Amino acid sequence: LTSEKGQPPLCMQIDEKQLLVQLENEFYLLPLAHLQRTKLQQQFAQGVPVSQPLLMPISIESDENLLASAQSLYELLLTLSVEIGWTAKRIMLRKVPAGMRHMPWTQILPLLLNIDRSSEQPLQEQFVEVLISAESQYNNEQSASLWQWFVANEGTEVSTKIKQMGTCVPLAQWLKSYV
């Protein structure tokens, strides 16, 4: 199978973490996390999305250290459209950036509260990395959505980006050796 000229490259999800993409006669393994990172970076480059209330606020247990971290990060998190609240024993997540309610916030919140504030890496970049690390597996719907977004937004640079982000695999040679 080959894609027609002017059509996006063919791809298929091979597991929860990567796509197999065909560019002309070459095949590339493309980690879905790379597509997610690209999408999030572009979203934040256009400006931080507005806050969107969670339909069901998330609440996690906290200890003194986590509570202190939440209190010290409160203002910084607001700049990322993340709104939290707290009691003596719990931290609640109330709002998240628009379009991100589907993410696994129960896993993300503790990671977010433990980011390194002394790091030279900008908070926004750390935030993107936390989001990606928490969403390590992608179902068919998520991978198809990421692929469609990637092809639509990268335009003529799709092939170049795939070669930069993916790993070329000798699939055609492997298949020939078994025929």
pTM comes to 0.83
Q: Looking at residue 60, what is its pLDDT? A: 96
Residue 1: band (very low, low, confident or very high) from pLDDT cuts 50, 70, 90: very low
Q: Nearest to residue 82, comparing CAs of 128, 37, 18?
A: 128
Q: What is the pLDDT of residues 89-98, one digit of tens each?
A: 999 999 999 9
